Amino acid sequence: MLAYLGFDDTDDHDSVMGTGRLVREFARLLPTGHTLIGIIRHQLPRMDSIPFTSNNSSACAVVDVPEDGERESLRLALRDLAADYLAQQCAPGSDPGLCLAFETEVTPGMVEFGKRAAGVQLTQRDAMDAARPIDLLGLGGTNDGIIGAMAAVGLTRYGWCGRFIEYGRLRELPASLTVRDLLDTGIEVVSVDRDPLVPQAGDSVLDAAWIRPSLWGGRPVLQVRSLGLGVWEPAHSKRGKGAGHGPGSRKDAVRTPGIAG
């Protein structure tokens, strides 16, 4: 049984770790019998009217929960663990939000909320209306984090948005590897060239020191571009340090009132 835990707005400009890192650290605390499937980062729009710290991203942890216990007890234990962790780790100036739903509870309306949140500004009321009857908790400040937390769950269930920041052996892979290495890790490899070939298992993937597969079709998929026959490179590289901290950074602005099942 899969559980989706959405997190948002956990940091401020002085934080040593952003929301993605915070969720990765939280995953280390999962109880015995709970297995982390992956953590997906979701991008939300950078708009002057939306306050955010640097990039306006939220994250969703997908956890395989044992089915040998009473569902409500499992829910309460997981919710309290996440809420307590956020209370201890969130930055003083943050507005954290937490969303928790089992896979069978994520409705089409929640998915639609996530898709809308990726393009327009939504409100806490919109999030609360979409979330019924799952857990959606504001844990400090203005509680604006419930919007991104709800969106992270909806977008993860949607299955065609976001990128994995944690998945299996993702962070242990070498900088140069083969397509087979990725397939063995559970990561599909797809060419995004204009006239794409199908990457073969024995093909090389170079410059892979930083790879973050996309969530496509509910699965982790690494997008690659051809460097020549049998040789590929990741289509997307790591963002330069400081990117996203320009005029769109609005956290200190005046505020306005598999995986996918």
Give tens-digit pLDDT for 28-58: 999 999 999 999 999 987 656 555 555 678 9
Confidence label for 240 from pLDDT (cuts 50, 70 and 90): low
Q: Report which of 63, 20, 10 is spatially closest to residue 40, judged by C-alpha positions.
A: 20
Q: Report which of 200, 138, 192 is spatially closest to residue 9, judged by C-alpha positions.
A: 138
pLDDT of 26 > 60? The answer is yes
Confidence label for 199 from pLDDT (cuts 50, 70 and 90): very high
At residue 38, the pLDDT reads 97
Domain ranges of the chain: 2-163, 169-234
2-163 architecture in CATH? 2-Layer Sandwich (3.30)
At residue 15, the pLDDT reads 59
- pLDDT cut 70: percent of the chain above it: 86
At residue 14, the pLDDT reads 59
Confidence label for 254 from pLDDT (cuts 50, 70 and 90): very low
N-terminal to C-terminal alpha carbon distance within the chain: 10
Sequence-distant (6+) residues with CB within 8 A of 100 are 3, 4, 5, 6, 75, 78, 79, 82, 134, 135
Mean pLDDT within 220-225: 98
What's the whole-number average pLDDT of the chain? 87
Distance (Å, whole) CA 105 – CA 131: 10
At residue 52, the pLDDT reads 54
Confidence label for 111 from pLDDT (cuts 50, 70 and 90): very high
Lowest-confidence region among 55-59, 123-127, 190-194, 251-255: 251-255
Q: Report which of 11, 18, 8, 13 is spatially closest to residue 252, judged by C-alpha positions.
A: 13
- pLDDT cut 90: percent of the chain above it: 67
Confidence label for 18 from pLDDT (cuts 50, 70 and 90): confident
At residue 255, the pLDDT reads 30
Sequence-distant (6+) residues with CB within 8 A of 182 are 173, 188, 189, 205, 222
Mean pLDDT within 15-27: 86
At residue 248, the pLDDT reads 41
Q: Regarding predicted confidence, which is higher, 209 or 61?
A: 61
Lowest-confidence region among 52-66, 82-96, 151-165, 171-185: 52-66
| Integer CA distances (angstroms), 210 to 20, 37, 121, in order | 15, 19, 31
pLDDT in tens, 78-104: 999 999 999 898 888 788 999 999 999
Distance (Å, whole) CA 59 – CA 156: 9
Q: Regarding predicted confidence, which is higher, 184 or 15?
A: 184
